[in-house]
Amino acid sequence: MFIDLGKGRYVLDTNKDPYAMIAMECYRDVCSAEKPWLASSLVQQLDNNIDLSLYMPTLYRLFQNGRRLAEQTPNFNADAWQQVATFLSSFDKQKIA
């Protein structure tokens, strides 16, 4: 995939760069509602055998943002969030709680 960053094109090579695969999967997810034909095409092209640990920094950030929002609600359950944090930590050694 070519990306234009204003200074020329950048190639995401999913065969050689594991981060390119993650970027393409994220793009597929966010474009699926507006461009389902593109998301469908990306699903067919992407290899799902990726190292999950590469997703952990993004997952941790999203989890922490979600928890902060949930803490502002009256039915926040700290124990439930801790169970999810423990489960996610099993994918990686980094602590997220």
Q: Domain total for the chain?
A: 2
Examine the domain organization and report whether 32 and 45 are in the same domain: yes
If asked whether residues 38 and 71 sit together in one domain, one would say no
Query: What residues pair up with 11 in beta bridges, in sequence order?
Result: 2
Phi-psi region of 7 (alpha: psi -120 to 50; beta: other; left: phi over 0): alpha
Q: How confident is the model at residue 88 (pLDDT cuts 50, 70, 90)?
A: confident
Asked if residue 68 is part of any domain, the answer here is yes
Please check whether residues 39 and 63 belong to one and the same domain.
no
In a domain, 97, yes or no: no
Residues 8 and 34 in one domain: yes
Question: Are both 46 and 58 inside the same structural domain?
Answer: no
Q: What is the pLDDT of residues 15-74, one digit of tens each?
A: 788 788 778 888 888 888 898 888 888 777 765 656 667 778 888 888 999 999 999 999
- Which range of residues forms the domain containing residue 22? 2-50
Tell me how far apart the alpha carbons of residues 21 and 93 are, in angstroms, rounded to a whole number. Answer: 22
Nearest Cα residue to 29 out of 12, 43, 8: 43
Which two tokens mark 35? Answer: 């461009």
Average pLDDT over residues 72-87: 93
Q: Is 10 helix (H, G, I), strand (E, B) or coil?
A: strand
